Structure 1
Amino acid sequence: MKLRWGWTCLLLLSLATAAWTHEEDQDSTGDAQVEDSDDADSETEDPTPDTNVSFQVTYKTPVPTKEAYFTETFDEGLLAGWVLSKTTKDGADDDISKYDGQQWFDAFFLFYGEAKHHAIGAMLKKPFVFDQKPLVVQYEVNFQDGIDCGGAYMKLLSASDDLDLETFNDQTLYTIMFGPDKCGEDYKLHFIFKHKNPRNGDYEEKHAKRPDVDLKKFYTDKKPHLYTLVLSPDNTFEIFIDQTSVSKGNLLTDMTPPINPPKEIDDPNDVKPEEWDERPKIPDPDAVKPDDWDEDAPAKIEDPEATKPEGWLDDEPEYISDPTAEKPEDWDEEMDGEWEAPQIPNPACEASPGCGVWKPPMINNPNYKGKWKASLIENPSYQGIWSPRKIPNPDYFEDLHPFRMTPFSAVGLELWSMTSEIYFDNFIICSDKEVADRWASDGWGVKKLVASANEPGVFSQLMAAAEERPWLWVVYILTVALPVGLVVLFSWPRKSDEAASYKKTDDVQHDVLEDEEEEKEEEQEREEEADTETRADTGKAEEEEEEKRSDHESGAAGDSQDEEEEDSNKSNETASDDEVSHLDIALLVYQLHPLVR
C-alpha cells in the first residue's frame, strides 16, 4: 500500500513539474525575445515557418452561374449603383427623422451608428415579374455587436415610374419585405408581402407564420448567417437560414390575414331583438328563503374563547415619539407645519405580549351564510346566443394565384436600429435555387469554412485561459492527475495477503479437510463412550427394579408366617424400602435428564 501511494504521489509531482517547466519556458522565451529585439532590428534573419499561421483559402468573388436580377458582393469597396436616401421619415421627431445613419463599404456593407435611421437602395438589372419563374432572394447578415432592438431586413421595392431612391423612406411601396428583426426578447424573421385587392386596388400586408426554430442564436452569436427566401409559382414558399429550412407554407393557407376574404359576413345592420333570451339558467321562481337564514350575520366574529395574555400592557401605546429626534434647524413651521418627532416602536412592549387596547382575534363565523340567492334552474325560454345574420360579402374576391404579386425593380434597406455595426454582404436575386446555392458556397460558404478552421480547439482554449489565469494550471493538473492516480492505485500489482486470501476464498483447502475428519472421529468416539455409559446405567437400574419386585413378592409371602418371623424380618423390610426409594429416584433422574441418556 505504501509503495502504491508513493508511485501516485510521484506521478502528481511529475505532472506539476512539467507544467511549471512549460510556464518557465514560455516566460524565458518571452524575455529572450525582448532582450534580442535590438539585434533583430539590425540583422537580417532567415525566414522561419510560423507555426501559428491561420487556415487560409484563396477567395474569389462569387459569380452567378445563370441569369440573376441583382447581385452585390461589395468586393470593390465602392458604392456604385447604390443611392443614399436624402428624405426624412414622416411622423418622427426632427432629431431622428433624417436618414443620417453612416455606412462603410469594404468587401461588405456596414451600417454603424446607434439610434439611427438608415435608407439606401439599388436598382435591379431588370424588374422581376411574377409569372412562371420562382423567386429566390438571398443575402448575408452579421450582428457584429449583437442586437438590442433593430432589424436587418431588405425590401423589394415595387416597380413604378415614380420610384426615386433618393426619396426612399418607410412609406415607399414595396412588394416583399424579408429578413431578421428583433426588439427585446421578440425574435422575428419577416416574410411580408403586399397583396393588391383586385376589387378596389388597395394593398394589404400579409404575414407568414413564425419559424418553428429558436432564432436567438442566429442574432446573438456575432457570426455571419445566410438568409434565403424561395417563392414558387404554385404559391408555396420556404425560408432557409444557413441553407437549412426553418419555415415553409402556402400563400393561400399560411398567411395572416388570409389572402381571400370570406364569402359571407355578419350583417352590420342586424340588431338583437329586445325579447331575445340568452340566459341558459335562471333563478328558481318558486324558491323561498329559509326562515332561519340570517343575511346580516357577519363573516368574521371575535373568538369567544380567547383570553388576554398575562402581562399585556393596556396603558402603553404601541408606538411612541422618538425621544432622540430633534427638529431640523431649517424647519419652518409656517411652511412645513408643526414639527412632530417620528414614531418608533415602544421599547416597553418588547418584553411583553403586547401593548394598547387588547382585542380578541377574529375567527370565521360558524353561522355565516351570506346573502340568500335562489337556486338556478333551466331557462324554459332560452333561445341560445344571438348572432347577426349572414349576408354576402360585398368585398369578396377569390385570388387563387397570390404568387402573381406586383413586380419589383429595386432593393432597399430602410432600417432603424439601436445597435451599431450591422453587416450585409453577398446579395443575390435570381430564379434558380441552385444558382443561389452555388453563390453561397463561393461566398458565405468560404467564410464559414475559414471561420471553422481558424476557431481554436478545446485544448488551445484551455491553454489560452491558463495563460491569463495561471491558477488554472492547478485545476488542470488535479483534473488529469486524479483519474490517473486512481488508475495506478487500483491497477498497480501488489503482494496479496495469504491469510486474508485464505479467509476470503470459497475453495475447499486440504488442511481444512483433514482437521474436519479428525474432529468427526473424535466426536464419534465421545458419542460411543456416552452410549456405553448410558447402557450400563440402564442395565443397573433394571436389575435394581427386578430386585424390588422380588422383595415385594417375598414380603407378601411373609404375611402368612408367624408373628415371630414378621418381627425378625422388619429390619429387612425397612432396608428393602430404602433400596426401593433410591431406585425410584435414579429412574426419575434418568427420565428427566437427557444428558444421562
Structure 2
Amino acid sequence: MKLRWGWTCLLLLCLAMVTWSQEEELDDEEEVQMEDEEMDSEADDSSEVKADANVSFQVTYKTPVPTGEVFFSETFDDGSLSSKAKINGTVLFSGKWEIEALKENKVPGDLGMVLKSRAKHHAISSLLNKPYIFKDRPLVVQYEVNFQDGIDCGGAYIKLLSDSPDLDLEQFHDRTPYSIMFGPDKCGEDYKLHFIFRHKNPLNRDFEEKHAKRADTDLRKVYSDKKTHLYTLVLNPDNSYEIFIDQSSVSKGSLLTDVIPPVNPPKEIDDPKDSKPDDWDERAKIPDPEAVKPDDWDEDAPAVVPDPDAVKPDGWLDDEAEFVPDPTANKPDDWDEEMDGEWEAPQVPNPACKTAPGCGEWKPPTINNPLYKGKWKAPLIDNPNYQGVWSPRKILNPDYFEDLEPFKMTSFRAVGLELWSMTSDIYFDNFIITADKEVADRWAADSWGLKKLVASANEPGVFSQLTLAAEERPWLWVIYILTVGLPIGLGVLFCWPKKSDDDYIYKKIDPSKTEDVEEEEEEEEVEEEEQEKGNGTFSFLYSCISCIFIPPTYLLTSNQPSS
C-alpha cells in the first residue's frame, strides 16, 4: 500500500508538469484568438491559418487605407505596378520587378513588390501626392522589407528624390540627386542601416553626404530570419531623428552632433603655411651622453652556441650520407645531356640510416648563449631640451559657417529604389510617407501587424524550438536532461515509500516482556529507522549539491596534520 503511495506522488508530479505545459499552450491559443477577433471587424478576404500547435484561426485582410495627411502610400495589392511608377529599363538598369505574395507566412490578399533579378541594377520610382517641404512638421518614412532568400550582398534602401525641374523618373539612376537615403544594406559581414542626407553648404552651395551613426543593435537576425520587418525613420524640425525596426527604436540622435562628417566645420583650423622649426626638439627621452659601455660587454658574442654537454649518440654513422641516389631510378629515354645536362638519379633516404640514430657529420645541438648581450645601447634619460610635440598654430577657418537648422534640407517630390543585389526575391511592401507618426503606426497595424501575427502563429512550438536549438548546439541536451531529471529525482527521493512491515526482521518474542513493552520497542525501532532514512535522504541531496557546487572537502583539509 505504501509502495503505491510513492508511485502516486511521482505520477502526480509528472501530471502537474504536463498540466502546466497544456495551460501555457491554451493561454497562447486564447491570445491569438483574441487578436484575430479584433481584426475580424472589417472582413473582406479571409483564409484559415494553422500553426504547428494545431491552432487554427481566420486571418482577415483588407488593403490598408491611410488616415490623416499622407504624401505617399503604396500597397501593391491591385496586382500590378501602379501606373504612376516609373521603371528605368535601360541596358544598365535591366533588373526585373514583379508583384507577388510572400513565399512564406502569406497573408491572403496581400501582395508586394519583389526584386526578381540577381546581379543586376534595378531602378523604379514614383511621384509623391505632393512635394514634401522641410519646414515645421516632422517627416516619417516607413516601409517593409523581407529578404526571402537571405541576402549575400546588396541593399534594400530607398531614396527621397530632390525636387528639381530636371527630375525625370524614367531616367532615374544612381546619380539622380536625392535628399535622404534610408534603409538596410549588407555586403559580406558588414550589416548596415543607412540614414544619409545631403546637406547644402550655404557658402559655396555644394552638397555633401552626412551619415548617421550606426544602429545600436545587432542586425544579423533581421537580415537572415526571412521574416518581414518594418523600417521607420522619424525626422523632427528640432534636428532630432530616430530609427525604428519593427516599431522598436534602434538608433536616435541629432543632425548637429551625431552625423559624419559634422554639418558645421570647425571655427579654427591648422595653419597650412606653418611648419616645424629645424631646431625644434620633441624627443621626450634621449640616450645618456655620459654612459659608457662596460668593458666586459661583448657585442660580437653569438646568440646561440653548441651545447657543451651534448654527447654524440651511440651508433651514429659518420661515414654514411643521409640521402643517396635512388638505385632503382633510370635515366629517361628522352633525356638530352646537351640540352638537359648530365643526368643524376634522384635522392632518397639512405636505407642504412633507418635503424641508426643518425648519419653524416654529427653536430651538437645549440643552446642560448648565457654570455650574449647583443648590441650595447646607452640608457635613456629625460631630454633637457624637450619642447613638446609640435603642432601648427591655429587660424580662423575661411570655410567656416554655422547652420543650426540642417533639418531644412532640399524638398523632395518622388521616392525611388535604385539597387544592385547579388540576391533575388527581395520583397517590398506598404510604403508610406507622412508627417505624423501615429498615422504610420495605424498603417503598420493594418498591414505589417497581420504579417507578424501569421509569422508568429506559424513558428514551431516550444518543444520544436528546443529541439532545433539542440541540433545546432548538442551541449544543450545536457541542460535539458538536468532541467527535467532534477525535479523528477527530487520527487522520487521525497515521495519514495518506506519499507513495508513484511520486510522487517522481527526479533524473537521474549516471554518475559508484556505486549505493551513489545509494542513500545517496535514503535521506537520504526521511528529510529525512519529518522535514519530521512537523514540518508538529506545526506544524499547534500552530497549531490556538494559535488556540483562545493569543492571536495579533502582538498581543503589534506594539508592539515591529523589530530
| More divergent stretch after superposition (336-345 vs 150-159) | 336-345
Cα offset for 1:186? 1.0
Residue matched to 2:88: 85
Distance 1:500 1:245, change over 3 A: farther
1:316 is aligned, of 315, 320, 326, to: 320
| More divergent stretch after superposition (255-264 vs 449-458) | 449-458
Residue matched to 2:94: 100
Residue matched to 1:345: 349
Runs of 5+ unmatched residues, structure 1: 12-49, 89-97, 465-475, 515-597
Residue matched to 2:71: 69
Residue matched to 1:356: 360
Answer yes or no: is the 8 Å Cα contact 1:313–1:352 preserved in 2.
yes
Cα offset for 1:305? 2.2
| Mapping for residues 20-59 of structure 1, pairs under 5 Å | 54-59=56-61
Cα offset for 1:370? 1.6
C-alpha separation in 1, matches of 2:464 and 2:419: 40
Residue matched to 1:571: none
C-alpha separation in 2, matches of 1:305 and 1:235: 79
C-alpha separation in 2, matches of 1:99 and 1:63: 32
Runs of 5+ unmatched residues, structure 2: 12-49, 101-110, 469-479, 508-517, 525-563
Distance 1:500 1:299, change over 3 A: farther
| More divergent stretch after superposition (414-423 vs 354-363) | 354-363
C-alpha separation in 1, matches of 2:122 and 2:170: 12
C-alpha separation in 2, matches of 1:501 and 1:232: 89
Residue matched to 2:153: 149
Distance 1:482 1:405, change over 3 A: closer
1:377 is aligned, of 368, 378, 381, to: 381
| Mapping for residues 429-440 of structure 1, pairs under 5 Å | 429-440=433-444
Answer yes or no: is the 8 Å Cα contact 1:55–1:450 preserved in 2.
no
Distance 1:454 1:286, change over 3 A: closer
Answer yes or no: is the 8 Å Cα contact 2:76–2:429 preserved in 1.
yes
C-alpha separation in 1, matches of 2:501 and 2:334: 92
User: How many pairs align?
Assistant: 445
Distance 1:298 1:327, change over 3 A: same
In the alignment, structure 1 residue 167 sits paired with structure 2 residue 171: yes
Q: Deviations over 1:402-447 (max 9, x none)?
A: 1111111111111110001000000000000000000000001011
Cα offset for 1:54? 4.8
Residue matched to 2:237: 233
C-alpha separation in 2, matches of 1:460 and 1:422: 28
Residue matched to 2:258: 254
Distance 1:147 1:339, change over 3 A: farther
Amino acid in structure 2 at the alignment position of 1:422: I
Answer yes or no: is the 8 Å Cα contact 2:215–2:251 preserved in 1.
yes
| Mapping for residues 492-507 of structure 1, pairs under 5 Å | 495-496=499-500
Amino acid in structure 2 at the alignment position of 1:84: I
Distance 1:368 1:433, change over 3 A: same
Residue matched to 1:582: none
C-alpha separation in 2, matches of 1:326 and 1:154: 73
Q: Deviations over 1:544-584 (max 9, x none)?
A: xxxxxxxxxxxxxxxxxxxxxxxxxxxxxxxxxxxxxxxxx
Q: Deviations over 1:222-249 (max 9, x none)?
A: 0100000000001110000001111111
Distance 1:449 1:309, change over 3 A: same
Question: Could you say which structure has the larger radius of gyration?
Answer: 1
Residue matched to 1:563: none
Residue matched to 2:131: 127
Amino acid in structure 2 at the alignment position of 1:99: F
2:406 is aligned, of 402, 406, 426, to: 402
| More divergent stretch after superposition (392-401 vs 363-372) | 363-372
Answer yes or no: is the 8 Å Cα contact 1:104–1:110 preserved in 2.
yes
Cα offset for 1:255? 0.6
Percent identity, aligned pairs only? 72
| Mapping for residues 434-473 of structure 1, pairs under 5 Å | 434-458=438-462
Amino acid in structure 2 at the alignment position of 1:59: Y
Higher helix share: 1
Answer yes or no: is the 8 Å Cα contact 1:252–1:258 preserved in 2.
yes
C-alpha separation in 2, matches of 1:177 and 1:341: 71
C-alpha separation in 2, matches of 1:485 and 1:369: 67
Answer yes or no: is the 8 Å Cα contact 2:227–2:455 preserved in 1.
no
| More divergent stretch after superposition (234-243 vs 372-381) | 372-381
Q: Deviations over 1:265-285 (max 9, x none)?
A: 011111111111111111122
Residue matched to 1:296: 300
Cα offset for 1:448? 1.2
Amino acid in structure 2 at the alignment position of 1:144: Q
Q: Deviations over 1:34-53 (max 9, x none)?
A: xxxxxxxxxxxxxxxx9979
In the alignment, structure 1 residue 419 sits paired with structure 2 residue 418: no
Q: Secondary structure at the match of 1:344?
A: strand
C-alpha separation in 1, matches of 2:211 and 2:523: 92
Answer yes or no: is the 8 Å Cα contact 1:187–1:216 preserved in 2.
yes
Answer yes or no: is the 8 Å Cα contact 1:87–1:169 preserved in 2.
no
2:207 is aligned, of 203, 206, 213, to: 203
C-alpha separation in 1, matches of 2:334 and 2:203: 77
TM-score (norm: length of structure 1): 0.68
Cα offset for 1:116? 1.1
Residue matched to 2:18: none
C-alpha separation in 1, matches of 2:56 and 2:523: 77
In the alignment, structure 1 residue 274 sits paired with structure 2 residue 278: yes
Answer yes or no: is the 8 Å Cα contact 1:87–1:168 preserved in 2.
no
C-alpha separation in 2, matches of 1:404 and 1:297: 74
Amino acid in structure 1 at the alignment position of 2:217: V
Q: Secondary structure at the match of 2:449?
A: helix
The alignment yields a C-alpha RMSD, in angstroms, of 3.5
2:395 is aligned, of 386, 391, 394, to: 391
Q: Deviations over 1:111-130 (max 9, x none)?
A: 01211111111111111111
Q: Secondary structure at the match of 2:282?
A: coil
Cα offset for 1:56? 2.8
Distance 1:299 1:129, change over 3 A: same
| More divergent stretch after superposition (439-448 vs 77-86) | 77-86
Distance 1:309 1:407, change over 3 A: same
C-alpha separation in 2, matches of 1:306 and 1:351: 21
Distance 1:161 1:327, change over 3 A: farther
Amino acid in structure 1 at the alignment position of 2:461: G
Distance 1:286 1:458, change over 3 A: closer
Distance 1:245 1:53, change over 3 A: closer
Q: Secondary structure at the match of 2:58?
A: coil
Q: Deviations over 1:94-142 (max 9, x none)?
A: xxxx111111014210001211111111111111111000000000000
C-alpha separation in 2, matches of 1:331 and 1:410: 77
Q: Secondary structure at the match of 1:57?
A: strand
Amino acid in structure 1 at the alignment position of 2:179: T
Residue matched to 2:372: 368
C-alpha separation in 2, matches of 1:336 and 1:127: 82
C-alpha separation in 1, matches of 2:368 and 2:55: 82
C-alpha separation in 2, matches of 1:429 and 1:247: 19
